[in-house]
Structure 1
């Protein structure tokens, strides 16, 4: 019995030894993978990629919630149509007039005068003269604060006359007569014929004078009511001259 126990003990020891050797052998074979199984992998220094949903393409980086593209400071930039002054939209309306030259003579005005004299800025008087016979002198005086031009000739209306009397064409001046404030222009008026050849004569105390504009195509501005101290007799030969700068020139016809 003792011998049998020794054999079993020896056998058990041999099996245990074999098992230990086998374990050691397995351990030796798996040593190269120990880092993978039990040791954490080294951390990389490279930044981890951003999730696709968090990154925006450059083309989408200025889009608002509605999908419209705006620049970063679009909200602070003024709207060009609203900021531009209305005056810069249109400059001189394409006018081709030359720049007026300064005028430093009497009256203190500057530039080219285009304002017409009329009843609103002038006073008109009619006075009889001794020569020529049957003539009267019409005087227009600038009572305004700006210079005005006495264009063409006066359109006189005695009483209820329906037609403008004719003008002596030969009395047309070389240039338009410009009146500075306080200055006067003159026109001669032949009221009736000296030889009695006129027709349709009548007497009146009412006289209105109308003024021509720059284009000489009709009246402009207000008419002037002219006070008369006595009745004036006129007939079909009623004729006027152009406005003159000199009184003598107005009474030559």
Structure 2
């Protein structure tokens, strides 16, 4: 009987040791399960364990094109930053050009006397009236000029200038802007019966405001072929219109 008790005691001790060993092993291998079991024991603890999906979300973003490495080794974030600068350059307002100040208008030029240096003078033969020539004076200068009184004519080697027809005096001084012309008619013979001379050359002197001759060189003209003049001939004042000159 005593032997059976001892054996029973030994068997019980052995069983206890085995049980303890199994318990220890179970505790080491299932630590993770125990933690998970504790987490799932209540609804609040289940919510607190939500960070696991968050890790998956982060993993999803890391696979997005914005975070993926580029083939050349640069990050997508770097490319995104460099691309963001391009619109700023294209949408920048254009530089304003500096407006140049307008030049002040030129002061009007003072009119001058019509003389040979600022005019062109021609002489032509007209069919009507008969025995008449026409002088045409054109302003070739850059200023307005005044054609004062009448031209002073000298045929060939004549000692005196041709007489002026006073009835042809205009109401105002003839004013010529650049490019405009004035006219004077030459009655070659005047009253019939006078002595005539063959003319080949004509010198035209210009008149100043006081009707004296200007201190400028006369215009030298060649007369049309077959020109004859007499001492009774005349020249008109300068006229603004050709017809007004050829009336006399």
Identify the TM-score tier after normalising by the shorter chain. Answer: 0.5 to 0.7
Match of 1:186, SS state, is strand
Shift in CA distance, 249/220, structure 1 to aligned 2, threshold 3 Å? farther
Q: What is residue 234 of structure 2 aligned with on the other side?
A: 239
| Corresponding residue to 1:196 among 192, 213, 234 | 192
Normalising to structure 2: TM-score of the pair? 0.54
Match of 1:120, SS state, is helix
Does 2:150 align with 1:153? Answer: yes
Tell me if structure 1 keeps the 8 A contact 2:110–2:144: no
Q: Distance in 1 between matches of 2:108 and 2:135?
A: 28
Does 2:173 align with 1:176? Answer: yes
Cα shift at 1:116: 1.0
Match of 2:216, SS state, is strand
Q: What is residue 108 of structure 2 aligned with on the other side?
A: 110
Tell me if structure 2 keeps the 8 A contact 1:212–1:220: no
Match of 1:170, SS state, is helix
Cα shift at 1:218: 2.7
Match of 2:167, SS state, is helix
Cα shift at 1:110: 2.5
Aligned runs of 1:113-128 on 2, under 5 Å?
A: 113=111, 115-128=112-125
CA-to-aligned-CA distance 1:148-186 (integer Å, 9 cap, x gap): 110000101110111111111111011111111111100
Match of 1:222, SS state, is coil
RMSD: 2.0
CA-to-aligned-CA distance 1:220-249 (integer Å, 9 cap, x gap): 422111233424211111200000000001
Aligned length: 144
| Corresponding residue to 2:218 among 223, 229, 238 | 223
Does 2:134 align with 1:133? Answer: no
Shift in CA distance, 150/131, structure 1 to aligned 2, threshold 3 Å? same
Normalising to structure 1: TM-score of the pair? 0.53
Gap regions ≥5 residues in structure 2: 1-104
Q: Distance in 1 between matches of 2:247 and 2:215?
A: 27
Shift in CA distance, 197/222, structure 1 to aligned 2, threshold 3 Å? same
Q: Which has the higher helix share?
A: 2
Q: Distance in 1 between matches of 2:186 and 2:136?
A: 11
Q: What is residue 140 of structure 2 aligned with on the other side?
A: 143
Cα shift at 1:196: 3.3
| Corresponding residue to 1:185 among 172, 175, 182 | 182
